Chains A and B, each alone.
Chain A
């Protein structure tokens, strides 16, 4: 059981706030430019921020940043690749998650340049989960996917979260998706982060 706790957490123009996420899927919404992605980036300690993030009461600023980022699995809205072959971005040979997202086993031999946006996005999700993160921060993970893949990604994330008791913060603009999956929802409005009551 992992708990992500943010205390007086403050980044960008957003007002400081407190948040505790247990094993649940928390949706984060708000207009474009409201600071949703910045908030996720700050929790992953990729950008400067004030306040403190805790993982099972371990303070972010006490933990080696490399270790922290391995625990806090952040999926940016756009995946980035730096080698020619897909497989060069994966440490192991065999990834059970590939099949769950409808990716053939030989996709690790593919050239990154020839992958579609949707394929890259699904590969990025597998790449992230392969690190066994203790927390998931997902920035519009399904925005570039077709309806079938959206469903696959949703169930993979839910299964992963339940199996390993992982807190999930999920940024989405898709109202039906939020309705489908959300256990709690927070909205950024006028620089304030407020819980949306069902």
Chain B
């Protein structure tokens, strides 16, 4: 089965649609025209770059290169998590908290999937490792940032409640327990919804891509199921880790609520 190769001309036919959209939003005074164009250009540049990187990476299977790209992806995801926080932890914690929890869950689960589930040889075969990790990071990023944002903004709003509970002799874990539970839940719900709606409401992107490139549909479905399970577990674990460390960080060793640690 051959993939129909897209020529630059084919892509420019699609680009015309985006330009038309930008033009219409100009007429409608949506104040989005330049943002649409810039975002579209970024898509092209970033994807072409990653395409070149992947091409080079696939040409020679080297653990060092795979690791380097993985770390780079992690750091960018960590930055993204930080940027999405309304109230983030000050100092290194602002960046480190989300990055660390994504590192723990995404990397562990991706390596698990590569070795135990897919059994590629070698386990770091970039053609499998990089897309898997990319999808893990992309989704855990959303989960972690939702969970952390919920944790910090709610703690900020409910200072009086948390302190009232401390005053009545509850430990920090209990005093902030309702908030941590809500935060983890908020972080996990998008993936649970995605699992429940998969295939009915939307055809997941990866599966669509595989089918377009000629993979037999049931084979694509199996990979999609694997990915969904991995992502759900990864998102859940990292939301739990991030929320737990974050909640602990909101209190000091005397179990005082230290909201000034948020900026």
Contact = CB atoms under 8 A, between A and B. Distances in A.
Interface of A: 44-48, 61, 65-67, 69-70, 73-74, 76, 78-82, 127-128, 131
Contacts of A46: 163, 166-167, 256-257
B213 interface: no
A65 B254 contact: yes
20 contacts: A44-B167, A45-B256, A46-B163, A46-B167, A46-B256, A48-B252, A48-B256, A61-B254, A66-B169, A69-B166, A70-B169, A74-B167, A76-B167, A78-B160, A79-B164, A80-B163, A80-B164, A81-B161, A81-B164, A131-B169
A13 B239 CA distance: 40
B169 A69 contact: yes
A127 B160 contact: no
A82 B256 CA distance: 18
Contact of A82 (B169, B178, B255): B178
B168 interface: yes
Contacts of B31: none
Contacts of B257: 46
B256 A131 contact: no
Given A78-B160, A80-B164, 9 more contacts: A45-B256, A46-B257, A76-B160, A80-B161, A81-B161, A81-B164, A82-B158, A82-B164, A82-B165
Nearest to B167: A74
B170 interface: yes
B168 A128 contact: yes
B256 A66 contact: no
B169 A80 contact: no
B174 to A, nearest CB: 9
A81 B163 CA distance: 11
Interface residues of B, number: 18
Contacts of A127: 168
B163 A76 contact: yes
A127 B164 CA distance: 11
Interface in B154-188: 158, 160-161, 163-171, 178
A163 to B, nearest CB: 21
Contacts of A78: 160
Interface of B: 158, 160-161, 163-171, 178, 252, 254-257
B155 to A, nearest CB: 13
Given A76-B163, A81-B161, A45 B254 contact: yes
Among all A-B residue pairs, the 6 with the closest Cβ atoms: A80-B164, A70-B169, A80-B160, A65-B255, A80-B161, A82-B161
A175 to B, nearest CB: 28
Contacts of B163: 46, 76, 80
B168 A131 contact: yes
Contacts of A70: 168-169
A127 B178 CA distance: 20
A20 B31 CA distance: 66
Contacts of A80: 160-161, 163-164
Find the residue from B160, B167, B255 having the highest chain A CB count within 10 A.
B167
Nearest to B165: A82
Given A48-B256, A82-B178, A69 B167 contact: yes
Given A82-B165, A127-B168, A65 B160 contact: no
A64 B170 CA distance: 12
A66 B161 contact: no
Contacts of B168: 69-70, 127-128, 131
Contacts of B167: 44, 46, 69, 73-74, 76
Contacts of B160: 76, 78, 80
B166 A76 contact: no
A61 B164 CA distance: 20
Contacts of A61: 254
B256 A65 contact: yes
Nearest to A79: B164
B256 A47 contact: yes
A19 B168 CA distance: 24
